[in-house]
Amino acid sequence: MALDNDVVVDDATLKMLSEVSTNTLAGLMIKIAGMRTRTIRRARPLNPENARFAGPAYTLRNVPVREDLTDRASMVSRKSPLHGTVDRIPPGSVLVIDMLGDTTCGGLGDVMVAALAVRGVAALVTDGAMRDGEAIAVGALPVFCDGVNPAPSNRALLAAGVQEMIGCGGVLVVPGDIVVGDPDGVVVVPRHLAAEVAREGRELEEVERWVKAEVEKGGRASDLYPPDETVVARFREARRKQG
């Protein structure tokens, strides 16, 4: 159950977050809330050209497989209690899969990933590997993982639960947390911070673009970066003069 599932994150906030870099978001999570564990380790985009997204987390938890349960270990198995999960994930969600950091198997293959894309899922993120990497990379869905492995997931893992708190790449992910990705990585933002982080992130990126331009003109980096209140005031004045 989400800790702040009563907080509404509207489409405008999601769009704003998708346009802010994960570098900026990771820094703001520390600045605003002291949260230093919001960046998922080992999650890299299979296609950096298709890597930008923002949406609420839909979580899938795996546990180590038990040999006599391999026939029901994968959520796509008809014997699995989680069979049909792919068809129940709400459009716009980000499927976050806890694979215990295991890369000796692939979490999903290209057929299920295509089904997620058709359903309108925003992205897939895991701290393990995926199957069919080449086919997935050219598909419509942004997929972040820790490599590719052709072995099926039931080689090592058993899908045990959905919409539960999970750990993924060193990050506690609560169902409904806002997951943001770009070519540099993935950041998980608690819902109650999403609007504030989005607003501050948008302005901070505008400030940093201005600072970079000033440095390229010959300004002293040590006077401009990181931007303090004086630098932000200079930026706002410059923007006002430009209309």
Percent of the residues in the chain that have a pLDDT greater than 90, as a whole number: 95
pLDDT in tens, 65-104: 999 999 999 999 999 999 999 999 999 999 999 999 999 9
Give the count of domains, the chain. Answer: 2
pLDDT score at 130: 98
In a domain, residue 184? The reply is yes
pLDDT in tens, 174-193: 999 999 999 999 999 999 99
The pLDDT-based confidence of 3 (bands split at 50, 70, 90) is: low
Question: Are 59 and 109 in the same domain?
Answer: yes
Taking the C-alpha atoms of residue 189 and residue 177, their distance in angstroms, rounded to an integer, is 6
The pLDDT-based confidence of 1 (bands split at 50, 70, 90) is: very low
The pLDDT-based confidence of 242 (bands split at 50, 70, 90) is: confident
pLDDT in tens, 96-144: 999 999 999 999 999 999 999 999 999 999 999 999 999 999 999 999 9
Question: Are 99 and 202 in the same domain?
Answer: no
The domain that contains 155 carries what CATH number? Answer: 3.50.30.40
Domain that holds residue 234: 196-241
Query: What is the Rg, in whole angstroms, of the alpha carbon atoms belonging to the chain?
Result: 20
pLDDT-wise least confident of 127-131, 146-150, 176-180, 239-243? 239-243
Question: Are 221 and 145 in the same domain?
Answer: no
Taking the C-alpha atoms of residue 186 and residue 182, their distance in angstroms, rounded to an integer, is 7
How is residue 77 annotated by DSSP? S
* Backbone torsions φ then ψ of 94, nearest 5 degrees: -110, 115
In a domain, residue 5? The reply is no
Mean pLDDT of the chain: 96
Q: Which residue from 154, 153, 86 is spatially nearest to 120, judged by alpha carbons?
A: 86
Q: How far is CA 78 from CA 46, 73, 85, 136, in A?
A: 28, 10, 11, 23
CB of 171 within 8 A of CB of 38? yes
The pLDDT-based confidence of 2 (bands split at 50, 70, 90) is: very low
CB of 136 within 8 A of CB of 112? no
On the question of pLDDT at 34 being above 90, the answer is: yes
Q: How far is CA 226 from CA 39, 88, 196, 201, 222, in A?
A: 21, 45, 20, 14, 8
Question: Are 174 and 142 in the same domain?
Answer: yes
Residue 137: alpha-carbon gap to chain centroid: 17
